[in-house]
A and B are shown apart, each in its own frame.
Chain A
Amino acid sequence: MSAHAYLLLTLAFYSVGLVQTVMHVVTRRPLLGPATVAATLVGFALHTASLSLRWMEAGHFPALGLHDGASFLAWATVLVFLLTYLRTRLDALGLAVFPAAFALVLIAALTRPGPGVPPAVAGLFLPLHALLAFFGYAALFLASALGALYLIQEYELKARAPSRFYYLVPSLERCDTLAAQSVAVGFALLTLAIVTGLLWSYEARGRYWTGDAKEWSALVAWGLYILLLVARRRTGWGGRRAALLGIAGFAAVVFTFVWMAIFPGVAGAQR
């Protein structure tokens, strides 16, 4: 089977989680039954197979362009989610993860891999940079999702009239604590990703900094997160403002990813 066939199968298995999520919101039955977890694990295995095949097909680490980027980001997100779920048993994260993973794999399934990438992308720094960046994105995505859950829960509690989400979302404290942990992990990965990205850029283009929009937005995201971390530590910030800042930081991350996905050439080749 081709990488693309595996990807379609992956999509089918991830759709179990998506359907479960919708059912969960409507019926409020526990989200992650054993069947959903199993389907997600199978989907993840197929996804891994798809990525491995794609790596062989492409001849370089498949992380550039919309097709490869979306697929790889979905893979990292699902992995980070599964690991988090094992530790926290937090169903509600699925509300963010399943739709996102499904959408990303769908994008990957609907797009063709970009044309061959110049030899500049060969070498160790690209896979390293991509791995760090994508796992960082995944952790920061979870952080922003937790921030969103925090805001929803806070709104519900302030409104004093519980509706749908009141019953789904974990406690404020739990969202806040986990978001802080996710940001810490995501920030560390993002920092390393930026460093390896600079090194790679130097190796590929002879310049550390090209002034590309992606580089600027990564820097903005990094700045926002360092602000968040310092504010949390020094002034005991947390709760709503931390959630909002985490979401803002993630918006910059999304921009970075989208820019990379749409203009991989800028990242991959000399200008």
Chain B
Amino acid sequence: MRSDSLPSLLIVGVSHRTAPLEVREALVFPRGELADALHALRAQAGLHEAMILSTCNRVELYGREGEAPAGDALQSFLHGYHGRLPELPASCVYRLAGADAVRHAFRVAASLESMVIGEPQILGQVKEAYHTAEAAGTLGPTLGALRNRSLSAAKRVRHETGIGRNAVSISHVAVELARKIFGELKDKNVLLVGAGKMSELAARRLVREGARATVVGGRTFERAAELAAALGGQAVPLEALRSELAIADVVISGTGAPQTIIKTDDVESARRSTVARGRHRRPLFLIDIAVPRDIEAGVARLDGVFLYDLDDLRSVADANLRERRKEASAAEALVEREVREFLDWQRSLDAVPLVTELRRRAEEIRRAELARLRQRLGPLTREQEEALEAATSAIVNKLLHSPTVHLKEAARAGEGEEQVGLIRKLLGL
């Protein structure tokens, strides 16, 4: 396979793999400046098309070269635009062209190049970068096609492999565990004890899936009321903790209290109370994200009670990350197939101008001959006219069918140029 089939596509950039944070942050393009930067980039490097992907883990310039090679121009633009770095270490910057650039673009969108492999944000960031370029008018047919195919490949990776399947952030792990226990979270009662940032994050996810939130207030009841309002739930005073425990399905505790505030006895009696019994002894999921811990460790021994502290959540997250790495090879294979398809398709485009020309020429001849024939035959009935049209069109189409198919195939196999030349010569085009 020829790798120079897309000589015009170029990517220059830095990422978490090649550059330390100091370098990356110096090169970030603020969102508001992107449109101007795109225009400047296109003008300075003489590009036909341009796109800038700027996230906290990578800054990349995508371009379709004009007549002159633009690699150096892209690199100096990356360095010079901000003027914040005295120099850009060469080892930090990678430069990819043609098929390699295509592969890289696909891999980035599919989250195979991400710091946390399989993380979902990158897809949105890539989408937005293309969108910005489109709005700025710097997106053309090549980058446009790259966008469509790489984003659809990324979606396939997400759906068909397990690369993004298991949660790797603490709050997400908590929600995933809740789902493992309860299946559906709709109408489950979530009890928040303490109103910390991480409890809020986890509670938000649970509420989004249909759970109801109740916040237990501590010394500062206002804070609890505020959080409850934000979560669409209600706030109750600390004295109500025991009775709330009896109807809770998920408890997220994250107070700054120096000693445990939920004791084994509390949970046991709550579970034994009539309310709990009426609720068919459903499981109880306790999440303790406080340091020092809020919930007595003995609670975990109770039947149907699942207790996770911060370390437990972290170890689940780590295990999930190992799972993702295993799934990555399936994703790699899928992306590779999609890249190949894209490259083949791009090459088959080489034949398009000639095919169009061939058809145009044939159509010209057909019309000219028809016009002459009409003059000779005099006026025709509508049926005769239609039959004549149909017959001549059929002749043209049948004659051109096989060369069209052949040309496209040859182009796809990378032999387009010679054959195109030959056919041009033969047909005098």
Contact = CB atoms under 8 A, between A and B. Distances in A.
A237 B303 CA distance: 12
Contact of B283 (A160, A163, A237, A239): A239
A60 interface: no
A147 interface: no
Nearest to B316: A162
Interface residues of A, number: 24
Contacts of A238: 280-282
Nearest to B283: A172
B181 A161 contact: no
Given A235-B277, A239-B283, A240-B304, A157 B315 contact: no
Contacts of A89: none
Given A160-B308, A162-B316, A240-B303, A28 B281 contact: no
B279 interface: yes
B226 interface: no
Interface in A14-41: 27-29
Contact of B315 (A28, A160, A235): A160
A111 interface: no
B166 A167 contact: yes
Interface residues of B, number: 31
B182 interface: yes
Contacts of A237: 280-281
Contacts of B73: none
Contacts of A28: 162, 323, 326-327
A270 interface: no
Decide if the interface of chain B is mainly helix, strand, loop or mixed: helix
Nearest to A239: B304
Given A235-B277, A236-B277, A239-B304, A160 B312 contact: yes
Interface string A134-176: 0000000000000000000100011011110011001111100
Interface string B264-293: 000000000000011111110000000000
Nearest to A177: B183
Nearest to B180: A171
Contact of B183 (A160, A162, A163, A172): A172
A157 B278 contact: no
Nearest to A160: B312
Interface string A233-266: 0011111100000000000000000000000000
B127 to A, nearest CB: 27
A236 B280 contact: yes
A32 to B, nearest CB: 14
B345 interface: no
B300 interface: yes
A162 to B, nearest CB: 5
Contacts of A160: 308, 312, 315-316
A162 B182 contact: no
B145 to A, nearest CB: 30
B369 interface: no
B385 to A, nearest CB: 52
A172 B303 CA distance: 14
Contacts of A239: 281, 283, 303-304
B184 interface: yes
Interface in B307-324: 308, 312, 315-316, 319-320, 323
Given A238-B281, A240-B303, A161 B182 contact: no
B136 interface: no
B280 A173 contact: no
Given A161-B319, A236-B277, A153 B306 contact: no
Contact of A171 (B165, B182, B279): B182
A86 to B, nearest CB: 19
B179 interface: yes
B159 to A, nearest CB: 11
Nearest to A161: B315
B261 interface: no
12 contacts: A27-B326, A157-B177, A161-B315, A161-B319, A172-B180, A172-B181, A172-B283, A173-B182, A235-B277, A236-B279, A236-B280, A239-B303
**Closest 5 A/B residue pairs (Cβ):** A236-B280, A171-B183, A173-B183, A160-B312, A174-B183
